[in-house]
């Protein structure tokens, strides 16, 4: 049986926390940010946890 390959892009975009949850970066922070208010940009600054409905799929792509 061949080895299971991890999805390399998923490995770069997600990371697993110490408790086993998966964190991700928030969207809408790449370009064109000068039109957003400072309040909105501050709100989008931190990492967010992946939804529990998607967590199993993301872990499988990461090879975990």
In-domain check, residue 16: yes
In-domain check, residue 22: yes
Q: What are the start-end ranges of the H helices in the chain?
A: 8-13, 38-43, 52-62
Tens digit of pLDDT for each residue in 3-12?
Answer: 889 999 999 9
Rounded Cα distance between 8 and 6, Å, is: 6
The total domain count for the chain is 1
Dihedral angle of Cα 31, 26, 45, 51, to the nearest 10 degrees: 170
Tokens of 12: 């770069």
**What is the CATH classification number for the domain harbouring 35?**
4.10.410.60
Tens digit of pLDDT for each residue in 17-40?
Answer: 999 999 999 999 999 899 999 999
Q: Which residues span the domain enclosing 20? A: 8-62
In-domain check, residue 35: yes
pLDDT at 48: 96
In-domain check, residue 1: no
In-domain check, residue 49: yes
In-domain check, residue 3: no
């Amino acid at each position: 049986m061949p080895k299971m390959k991890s999805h390399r892009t998923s490995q770069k975009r997600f990371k697993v926390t110490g408790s086993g949850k998966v964190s991700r970066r928030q969207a809408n922070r790449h370009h064109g940010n000068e039109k957003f208010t400072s309040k909105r940009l501050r709100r989008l600054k931190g990492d967010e946890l992946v939804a529990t409905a998607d967590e199993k799929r993301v872990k499988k792509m990461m090879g975990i």
